[in-house]
Each structure stands twice: as structure tokens, then as C-alpha cells.
Structure 1
Amino acid sequence: MKCKIMHESSGRIRVHMIQKYMSLAQADILEYYLRSKKFVTGVKVFDRTCDAIINYTGERKNIINALSEFSYENKENTSLVPEQTGRQLSREYEDKLVWRIIGRIFRKIVIPVPIRNIMSVIKSLKYIKEGIKLLAKGKIEVPVLDATAITVSIIRKDFNTASSVMFLLGIGELLDEWTHKKSVTDLAGTMSLGIDKVWLLKDGQEILVPVNEIRKGDNVIVRTGSMIPLDGKVINGEAHVNQSSMTGESAPVHKKNGSLVYAGTVVEDGCITVCVDKVTGSGRYDRIVKMIENSEKLKSETEDKASHLADKLVPYSLGATILTYLITGNASKALSILMVDFSCALKLAMPVSVLSAMRECSQKCITVKGGKFLENVAEADTIVFDKTGTLTFAKPRVKNVVAFNGRNPDEMLRIAACLEEHYPHSMANAVVDEAARRGITHEECHSDVQYIVAHGISSYVDGEKVVIGSYHFVFEDEKCIILDDDNKKFSSLPDEYSHLYLAIAGVLSAVICIEDPLREEAADVVKYLKAAGIEKAVMMTGDSKRTAIAVGK
């Protein structure tokens, strides 16, 4: 892509793209393409001028090369753009604001005064009607204040003031709506799925492919513990799906052939093949927006107080208006009290603050469904941590493979990786990564895989039942045994590692020792939380009691 450098300084460059016109979609493609580069720290793209301001680290030539390689038609570049970026929304409201101001200037210059006065009276009916409705219900709230200011101005034949009040109210409503929609859009945008690859069923084979290569009509396999990547219909298998992120239902929903499933929901138990209906994910985005808007109904006490306080201030504003007129006898001074309507700002401030807080939490991978829950967290006295990936590193690594029953360690690792590659848990990833590091290939050599949540995996290899998972699952649930000759070796397994047990045909065949170092900051975080008022910190883990005690200490 050709461009011209307009200005540059250390770590910052402004370029002009050599093109006559830049669409909003093109601006988004350019912005997210540049954001995807590790050396880029910030990007602003101005579609009206076809310019881009780029902040970067490292060598200047990296930026020049990235810009020269850029193309709007490249599918990889277009796939980087999220479903909703907010650029279209901002342009829509910018145009509304500009045209509203232009319209007012036009009316003042072109339309005769008598006609403008009639238009002001007609326009005022909406505000007066709303004020009368509230008064009829015995309520004195902000719309009553607005209606009073407009009515008094019209009675005094001060049509300019009435028109100005309605114009400013209209601008305020527009900015209110813009701010609200922008906050919701930004929050929904941050709640992306974060799924990079999926299992595609093609010609009877399962192939791991990037999610952006999936097309409408493709069949995707989703197993227990995995998130459904795209909207679609179940064509094979059964599963219990957790839809709480979309619908708020706490109980998993049973899905079978013909059932619709939604992107972002999680398969808690079972395995299903999904025929993809929507590759854009628009259905998910719409549901996220709806969830956020519904969550606003779960207002915090602070939001409720702010809303009620704003309405309670209205009688005082009306009282101050009357008092000012009685003291001064000047209607203009009295009317000016009605113009100072800070109640609206008070009503708007708290919801926007809550939405901003929810967005910031979402950027830090914390999902908050309403202001009510933000306040509940402040009152919490107990916090529960998952061990693996939270208190410990997100990527545990295999330290050793101890074989039993005369088995070969590499062969045991191959079978373990073959089973574990279907599930997203960090312990499973460690096994798969270690097999790759050792150059061990693991083609599909097993039958259907059954995943038991928080326990392990069961399947058949060459006609023999193979189970892999926790001690409880392998020895207590599956009743597997340890050969007498292996008891001494089993007793000498190192305590400092987490153990993944693999049994074939009911006999222990290998123990995979996994090192999952404690995060350096974990102890400090717990101390900080206790200093902040948390009285009890609880750790939950599927590991053995021995490993749990070691980590807890």
C-alpha cells in the first residue's frame, strides 16, 4: 500500500494513505492490522483525511515494512477486525449532531420569525405533555422542570428562549443516547470469544483449523469443557450446554439433533457436531448487547440513590424559582433558575460510570453483569481461587513421564497426548506440548472420547480401555490397580509435582509428573486482598490433597 510520511518523531509517525477516499470499513482494517503488530503501541486512523497516526517501539523500518505490505483485500487483514468497532456508531451520531446544529442555523436565517414561533409552540407540546403526565401521577421530576421552563417562556412570548431550551434538551438527549450506546458497544466489543482454532469435521477426519477459515455449512466438533465458537444447529451427538452468558439460565440446557446452539456458550458435558449457521457471530453480538442492557436493570443502590436524588431536587429548583421571582419581581432571573438543570447530569453520571467500570473489568478478563454485583463484591469477605492457571502459571509443563507395567514412557506420552489434545485444560495442553517437544506424533488411534468434568478422560485404544486423569478418577472410580512390582516405584513419586495417572486395561501404565510453578505474585495478591477486607481465601483444585497442601503453603 502506498503512503506518504507527513510527520515523524521518536516513536511516532503520521502517514497519509495514497487514496482518494477511505471508507469506514477500510479505516477499521488498517487500524486493526497495525494494532496486530507487536511493535505498535497505539493507532489512530482518520478516514476523512486518509491519515493514520502510529506510535511504535523498536526500529522505524518495521513500520515502513508493515505499511508497504498492507492490503485491504488481504483476508487475514479483514479477519482481524471485530464484528463491531464503534466507528460506524460514532460517525452516525457525529452526523446527527452536525445536521441538528446546521438545521437550527438554517431556521434562524431563512425561516421568518412568525413561522419559527409557531414551530416552537408545536415542538413544545411534547415536553409539556410529558410534564403534565407526571403531575397527574403526583410526581415532580426532571421532565416537569423542563416543561415549566418552556411553558413560562412561551407564556412570556419569549419564543427564542423556549426554542433554545428545546434545542439544548435535544442536544442533551442526543449526547446521552450517544454516550450510552458507545459505552454498551465498547463493553460488548471487549467481551469477545477469544477462540483461535476449532475442530473441523471434514471427510470423516477431525482437523484443527483457524476459526476464521470456517464457512457457513461447515461441521464443527465441540466437546466437554470447550466453548461453542459460532452459532449453528446440532446435527450429531448430545450435550448439556451452559448458556448463562447469553440467557442468564444457571442450569445447563440439554441439546440434541436439531437444537440451536449459540457462540460463546460452553459444553459442560457431552460431545456435539454443529453445522455452522453464522460465521460473523452477529447473533452473539446482539445477545451480548441485550444482556448488557438487561444488566442495567440490575442497578446498584448508588445508581438508584442518584436517580431518586435527581428527582428530589426538582421541587427545590421550582421553589427557588418562585422565591427568586417573589424577591426580585424579575421573571428572567426566576426563569434562569429553571435553566440550571443539573439533575440530568446527576442521573446520567452514575449509569455511565457503572458501564465504564464494567468495561474496564471486561478488559481485565472480568465479566460483570450489573452495578448491583460491583457493590456486592465490595461487601464480600471470602474469595475462591482455582489453582491451575490462576494461582499457578497458565502453562504447566511436563517434568517427567514415569512408566509402569513395563511400558515405554514415550509410547505412554503418545497415547496421553492423543487423548488430551481434544480438551482445553492447561494440564492437557502441557501433555500435548511435551509430545511435540519430543517429536512424538500422535495420530487418532482411539474410539470416541468421553470427558468427565474435573476427573479425566476415558476411551479405547486397540480394543483396550484407556483412562487418564486424577487419582480419584483412575483408582477410585475406575478401580484400576497397581502391580505389586510397581508399588515401590509408585511410592517414590516426587510430591512437588502434580500427577496425571494413565491406566490401560485397568492397570496403571504411567504417571505424568507435571510442574506447575506458583506465580510469584500469588502470595502478594492474597495478602493485598486480605488487607482490602477479604477474610478468607479458598483454593479449589482437582489435584491430590498432597499437591494442594504444598501449593497452599
Structure 2
Amino acid sequence: MRFEVLHVSSKRVRIRVPFICSQAVEQKLITLASQQDNITYLTFYGDEHSFQVFYKKDHLFEVRQFLTAIDETLLKETYQEGATDPRLKTPFDIIFDSLCNRFAFRYLIPAPIRHVMTLYKTGSFIKKAYQALRHQKMTIEVLDCLAILTSISRDQIDTASTIMYLLNLGNDLGEWTQKKSIDDLAQTLKRPVPPVWVRLPNGEKEQKDSFLVGVGDELVVEEGSEIFFDGDVVDGTGYVNESSLTGESLPVVKARGSKVSSNTVLVCGQLVVSVTNADANHNLLDLVNLMTDSKEMMSKHQQQLVEKADQFVKVNLMGISLTYLATGSFEKALSFLLVDFSCSLKIATPVSYLVAVKKAMESGVVVKGPKYIDLFPEIDTFIFDKTGTITEPTPKIVKIQPFYDYTEEEVIRIGACLEEHFYHPIANAIVQEAKDKGIVHKEMHGELEHVVAKGVRSTIGDDKVVIGNYKFICEEGITITDEQQGILDTIEQQAGILCLGYRGELIALFGIDNPPRVGIDKVLRQLKESGKQVVLLTGDNALHTEPLKKLVEWNDIITDTTPKDKFKVVSRYKQEGHHVMMIGDGLNDSAALSEAEIGAVMSHSSDVARHLSDVIFLNDDLNDLFKLEQICEDLKHKLNRNLKWTVAINSTLIGFGILGILSHKQLALTHNMTTMYLIGKSLA
């Protein structure tokens, strides 16, 4: 595929392509990107030719390879197949269409018919005002209706028509702004779907790319996995967490004949699901609908601003009365009807929150609702899980102790040769160590025997070789000298132990641990310096946790915790009056994540933890806490600015109306233009 690189940063690259990225093409590119391990997601620009690729740090070369390998012919065919897909209009389209319709109405339709049509259109404004008054609400719709009826009563039909035209144009542009912010957010929420396991007619399983899944395919869902497609259970029994859809945390029993929904999690058991909807993540965008439609998802501050906007209507009505009493001029008093304070605030406020959520997503932070944007600055206590949050998620070799005449290279080669056949974090650690040090490990062993939860048994030549935990090595009759036992006890105080035995002797010890994340000490110190409490929770023992004490002066470190213990710790801090954010990554953190005011997880977290969380750090980087803090600060500044500008600009316009500087038509037009300007600034 031909492409031009417009901009490159450490984790994203902006691309321009010579063809049009229709909705169908966008979806195809997203699907192709989902098959790449180091590409997180794509976002597309409104010019239909540019998009951004977000990728894991230090993997830009793989992004270039991915883009180069795409078949442009395939994309052109995709474009032609989806050529009828509707696209969102631009503001220019809306204004141009509106002006054309206005010109035709004003100059091509005879005045008597035009006046009748104007009176007919008044009905919709009267209906909206009536509904507001019926609910005892003094809203912007009441002001609009009063302005139109006042013009009609003064035999100014054309003025009433112009006011309705400008109001409708303002509404159309407001709806476009709202729709664009929602569409942008929905686009950023699209996430790649991994390949799935499909049961074949002969009962065997095969892996299949998600975009190839069709209705009727039978998907095998294992315990702890996310369900990506709607379907019917045809085999198996399990408990499914549907909290992402229903808000209820208690898992629901699913068996043969039950229906399951996408974006839910199988927390226990195994299911075979017959697909009924081939669109993956069908329910994911319900999150966007919640953000935009549900008052429950609104933050308190957002609700207060919207309510304050309605209160401004009373200011307008008071202004009408006072101006008329002071001047005796109904013309001047009408300025308060044509310029209302509430319009821009009621549109700009939710737009500002949606833009903040979108900016967080672009920075690698998924925030599942505007209310968490407001809650975050109030957090004074950050509680961290240890493994996978403070430390790296995957274990690494931190100590190698060979014995006798064996070198480090020799014992790594033997260990990697044995472990490369098994998918297990500890096995991967030694294989990765060989890869990092460039040690080639050709097969030198005989038949392998994997002993579950213990280790691996095999032979090299005619001699027995074993690798595994201490108990397994002893059971296999490997001799451990007193000196070796002392070294083993010392290493075991700081790391897990993997033993390698050959020819009846212990020839090496590997210390395995999850080292602290790079830069985590700076993150913790910065939180402490800003007056926050930092607490560490871990199911690990005190000895293995000892090295982490050096990272920062923790407010509390609690070891040997169970999931119930973590839940109780979060509850205790909340009862003491603290605002708590819990950051974890595993199933064992799920209860604590739900209990905290904000539950956050890393990108590699378990599916259950991701669903129960309120925030997801896609970059696996806790420095993004400070990016989120800045986004919250920017939002606060934007909301305050919108309020001040709304009062200042509209007060000035009303003054111009009272002084006769602007006519009623000019006042209505200028008011709509300034309102759209404020809304446009909220989109930035």
C-alpha cells in the first residue's frame, strides 16, 4: 500500500493515503490492524485520507511493515462494495444546504404562501415550549417560542421566519457537533478482536480470525475469556459476568439454550456458542450511548452546569421585564428573547466532556464515562496491586547461579531447550533470557515429560535432566550440597527459584521475579510530592516485597493479601473519608476495583478486571496518570472559560440590542454565530 508519513512520535504515527477511507475501508484497516500484536488501535481524520496508528513503544518498524504489506487492491474493492455508506456531513454542507433552502423559501415562494408556512412551522416551537412548561421548567425552548410569537403578534412575519431559520440552523450545527464528538469517541473505542477458537463439525478446534467469523460458527469460550459475539449456547455450562451491559456484578448461569451477549466475560466453566451476530463487539458502543444519554453517567459538575444553563432563562425573562419598565420600549426588551445564555452552555458542556474522554483515549487512557473525569482530581489515595502494576507483568530471570564447571551460557542453553515447548510465564522467562543474550538452543534432549505444577523431565544423551521447582528436583533424586542449599535459601528470600538438575547433580539455580516497571519510582514520588497517599497491596510474602520498599516512602504496605483482604482495605480507606483509586490487573483485584471510587487496570489485565474497571491504561504506563490529571485540568479550565465567555459575549450582544446597534435579525444571527464559536472551541 502506498502511504505518506506525516508525523511520528514515540507511540503513534500519522499517515496519509492516496485513496478515500470510507467507513468500509476504515473497518477493514481496523480489522487488519487487530491482527498485529504491537498495534493498539487506529483513529481516522475527517479529511477521509489521513489516520493515526497507535503502537507500542519501539515498534515503529513493524508499523511500517504492516502498512507496506496491505494490498491496496483489496482496499479499493472494499471501498466499492461499501460505496453507499453514508458519511457525516460537514458544517459547510449544513450551512450551504440551509442557505439554498432559505433562498428558495424567501425569493421563490409567494409571500402569502410563505406566511402560511411560517405560521405552520411555529407549531413545533409552541409544542416544545408547552412541554417544558407542563413539566414546570423554564427552558430555552420557552424563550425561543416567546421571541417568535412576539414577532408574529407585531405583524413581523418575516422576522419570525428569520428567527426560526436561524434557530433551526443553530440546532442542526449543534446536533452535528454532538454527533461528531460521539462518532469520534466511538471510533477511538473500537479495539482489535483477537482470533477465536471455532469448533469444527468433527469436534476438533481451529483458530479463526475474528473478521472471518460468520453466523452459525460455533465458538469455544474458555474460563476467564471475553465473549466477542452475540450467540446461543449449544454446549457447556458456565457463569457469565454481564456487568458491562446490565451493571449487575453477580455472574449469570448460562447453559444449553441460553443466549450470551458480546462484551461479556465467562468467569467460570466452558461454553460453545453458536454465533447469531457476526459483528464483533456489538455491545461495546452502548458505552457511548450511556455517556451521552444517561444522567447516571453524567458527573455532578456536568449536571450542575446543565441545570445552571436552564437557570439563565429566568435571567432573560427578568431582563425583559426590567428593560421594558426602564425604557418603555418593547423593541429593546426583545433583545433578551433573541439572545439567551443557556444555549451554548447546554451544548458545549457535554461536548467538552466527550472531547476530554476522547483525548484521554488518544493518550492511551480509556475512561468509561464523564463522571470519572470529575472524580479523578478528588482522588487522594492511590492503592496499587504489586504484580503486573508496580512490577512488570511477566517474570524475568534476575539471578543465574551455575555450579561446578558449567557457565551461564551453558545452563541457559539447556534450560531454554527444555522450556521452549511449554507456554508458561516461568518457562517463557528462561527462553526470553536466551533470546536476549543471543544464545542459540538447538534441541539436544530426548522425549519431554511435563509434570503439571512441578517441572519438566527429559534426557540429554543417556543422562537424565530435569528443570522445575525445589520439591520436584528433590523428588527426582537430584543431589543438593549444603553450600548449594545456602545459596538457594539466600536467593529464595528475594525471588522465586527454578532449579536445573543434570546427571544427578544440581547444576544451576535461576532466580525469577517480576522486576519493578521502569520509571515507577518517579511516578510514586510525584504522587507523594503532590500530597497523595500511596498504598501497596500484594498476595506475595514480605520477603519478596522488601525490594519495593526502596521505591518510595509508602503510606502502607500489606502483604499476603487475599481478594477479600484487598476489598476490605479499599473499604477501610473510604470509611476514613479518603477518595480511593485502586489500580490492579488480575481477577483477584476485581472486588477491590469495584469497591474503589475509580478502579483502574493495565492493558494486559484479565477480561473480568477490564470489564469491572472504570479506567484502562492502554500503554501499560502509569505516567499516564499525570496525562489524565492534565486532561482533567484542561477540562476544568475549558468549562470555566465557556461560562465566562457565554456571560460576557451574550451580555454584550444584549447591550447592542438595547442601544439599537444591532437589529433583531442581526442580533439573532450574531448570537447563533457566537454560540457555534463557543461550541467549536469546546471541540478543540
Normalising by structure 1, what TM-score? 0.71
Moved more, 155-164 or 232-241: 232-241
Q: What is the SS of the residue equivalent to 2:350? A: helix
Alignment match, 1:507: none
Per-residue CA distance 1:313-366 (angstroms, 9 max, x = gap):
112212212333333343332222211122111122221122222223334454
> How many Å separate the matches in 1 of 2:109 and 2:354?
42
Which residue matches 2:159? 161
Secondary structure of 1:274's aligned partner: strand
CA contact (8 A) 1:31 1:45 kept: no
- 1:106 matched to which residue of 2? 104
Name the counterpart of 2:171.
173
Question: What SS does the corresponding residue of 2:231 show, helix, strand or coil?
Answer: strand
CA 1:514 to 1:169, structure 2 compared with 1: closer, same or farther past 3 Å?
A: farther
Q: CA deviation at 1:233?
A: 2.9
CA distance 1:364–1:170, shift in 2 (3 Å):
same
Kindly provide the CA deviation profile for residues 173-210 of structure 1, in whole angstroms up to 9, marking residues without a partner as x. 22232222332332233233433333344454444454
CA contact (8 A) 2:397 2:511 kept: yes
How far 1:110 moved relative to its partner? 0.7
Picking from 419, 434, 449, the partner of 1:413 is 419
Extract unaligned runs of 5+ from structure 2. Answer: 54-59, 403-413, 458-466, 501-507, 551-684
Q: Report what 2:291 is aligned to.
A: 292
For 1:54-69, list aligned pairs within 5 A: none
Q: Spell out, residue by residue over 1:39-70, the C-alpha distance to the aligned partner (whole angstroms, 9 max, x if none).
A: xx9975746xxx66999xxx9xx999968974
Q: CA deviation at 1:88?
A: 4.2
Paired position in structure 2 for 1:389: 388
Q: Which moved more, 1:373-382 or 1:102-111?
A: 373-382
Would you say 1:73 and 2:79 are equivalent positions?
no
| Match of residue 255 from structure 1 | 254
Conservation of the 8 A alpha-carbon contact between 1:414 and 1:442: no
> Contact 2:25/2:75 (CA < 8 Å) preserved in 1?
no
Alignment counterpart, residue 114 of structure 2, candidates 108, 113, 116: 116
Q: What's the RMSD between the two structures over aligned residues?
A: 5.1
Taking the aligned partners of 1:444 and 1:93, their CA distance within structure 2 comes to 67
Task: Say which SS state the counterpart of residue 193 (structure 2) adopts.
Answer: coil
**Are 2:302 and 1:265 equivalent residues in the alignment?**
no
Is this contact kept in 2: 1:134–1:144, CA < 8 A?
yes
> Which has the higher relative contact order, 1 or 2, with Cα contacts under 8 A spaced 6 or more apart?
2
- Report SS of the residue matched to 2:267: strand
User: Which residue pairs with 2:332 in the alignment?
Assistant: 333
- 1-structure distance, mates of 2:398, 2:66: 41
Task: Tell me the equivalent position of 2:376.
Answer: 377
Match of 2:187 in 1: 189
For residues 422-452 of structure 1, the C-alpha deviation after alignment (integer angstroms, 9 at most, x for no partner) is xxxx7786578679985679999999x9xxx
Q: Per the alignment, in what secondary structure is the counterpart of residue 235 of structure 1?
A: strand
Cα distance per residue 1:57-104 (max 9 Å; x no partner): xx9xx99996897424259x969xxx9xxx945238875554333222
Correspondences of 1:347-496 after superposition (within 5 Å) = 347-398=346-397, 409=415, 413=419, 417-418=422-423, 420=424, 430=429, 438=441, 488=485, 491-496=489-494
Match of 1:540 in 2: 537
CA distance in 2, matches of 1:150, 1:322: 17
Q: Equivalents in 2 of 1:443, 1:294: separation in Å?
A: 61
Cα separation, 2, equivalents of 1:373 and 1:71: 41
CA spacing shift, 1:94–1:459, aligned 2, 3 Å: farther
Residue 332 of structure 2 aligns to a residue whose secondary structure is helix
SS at match of 1:284: coil
**Alpha-carbon separation, structure 2, partners of 1:243 and 1:443:** 45
Moved more, 214-223 or 143-152: 214-223
In the alignment, the residues of structure 1 paired with residue 360 and residue 442 of structure 2 have an alpha-carbon distance, to the nearest angstrom, of 41
Question: Is the 8 Å Cα contact of residues 388 and 541 (structure 1) preserved in structure 2?
Answer: yes
Q: How many Å separate the matches in 1 of 2:333 and 2:215?
A: 65
The equivalent of 1:454 in structure 2 is none
Deviation (angstroms), 1:259: 2.6
Alignment partners' CA distance in 1, 2:537 and 2:513: 18
Q: Counterparts of 1:243 and 1:409 in 2: how far apart (Å)?
A: 43
Q: Secondary structure at the residue paired with 1:266?
A: strand
Aligned to 2:140, which of 139, 142, 162? 142
Q: Quick one: which of 21, 24, 45 aligns to 2:22?
A: 24
Residues 296-319 of structure 1: CA deviation (Å, up to 9, x unaligned): 433222122212211221122122
Cα separation, 2, equivalents of 1:443 and 1:101: 80
CA-to-aligned-CA distance 1:490-546 (integer Å, 9 cap, x gap): 5354444345899xxxxxxx99743433223211111222333422x2233444432
Maintained 8 Å contact 2:28/2:75: no
Residues 187, 358 of structure 1: 8 Å contact kept: yes
Cα distance in 2 between the residues matched to 1:265 and 1:470: 37
Q: Alpha carbons of 1:497 and 1:278: their partners in 2 closer, same or farther (altered >3 Å)?
A: farther
| Cα distance between partner residues in 1 of 2:100 and 2:330 | 31
Aligned-residue offset at 1:111:
0.6
SS where residue 226 of structure 2 aligns? coil
Alignment correspondent of 1:316: 315
Deviation (angstroms), 1:149:
0.8
Residues in 1 aligned to 2:171 and 2:260: alpha-carbon distance in whole angstroms:
38
Instruction: Name the SS of the counterpart of 1:249 in structure 2.
Output: coil
Is 1:246 aligned to 2:245, yes or no? yes
CA distance 1:297–1:282, change in 2 (3 Å): same
Paired-residue identity, %:
31
Cα distance in 2 for residues equivalent to 1:357 and 1:548: 37
Question: Shift of the alpha carbon at 1:170?
Answer: 1.5
Say whether 1:220 aligns with 2:228. Answer: no
How far apart are the structure 1 equivalents of 2:528 and 2:261? Answer: 39
Task: Check 1:528–1:369 CA distance in 2 against 1; reply closer, same or farther (3 A cut).
Answer: same
**1:303 partner amino acid:** Q
Distance 1:26 1:241 in 2: 32
CA distance 1:271–1:14, change in 2 (3 Å): closer
For 1:272 and 1:168, locate their aligned partners in 2 and report how far apart those are by CA, in whole Å: 57
SS in 2 for 1:528: helix
> CA 1:409–1:236 in structure 2 vs 1: closer, same or farther (change >3 Å)?
farther
| Rounded Cα–Cα distance in structure 1 between residues aligned with 2:455 and 2:190 | 33
Contact 1:34 1:43 in 2 (8 A): no
Alignment of 1:521-536 (within 5 A): 521-535=519-533
State the distance in 1 between where 2:26 and 2:303 align: 38
C-alpha distance in 1, partners of 2:88/2:469? 52
Secondary structure of the 2:367 match is coil
TM-score, normalised with respect to structure 2: 0.59
Return the letter of the residue paired with 2:419.
Answer: L
1:52/1:376 Cα in 2 relative to 1: closer, same or farther (>3 Å)?
Answer: closer
Paired residue total:
491
**Structure 1 residues 313 and 230 mapped into 2: Cα distance closer, same or farther (>3 Å)?**
same
Task: Indicate if the aligned counterparts of 1:184 and 1:292 stay in contact, CA closer than 8 A.
Answer: no
What does residue 667 of structure 2 align with? none
Aligned partners of 2:236, 2:210: CA distance in 1, in Å? 21
Asked whether the equivalents of residues 230 and 260 of structure 2 are also in contact (C-alpha less than 8 Å), the reply is yes
Partner Cα distance (1:546, 1:9) in 2: 47
Q: Which amino acid aligns with 2:211?
A: N
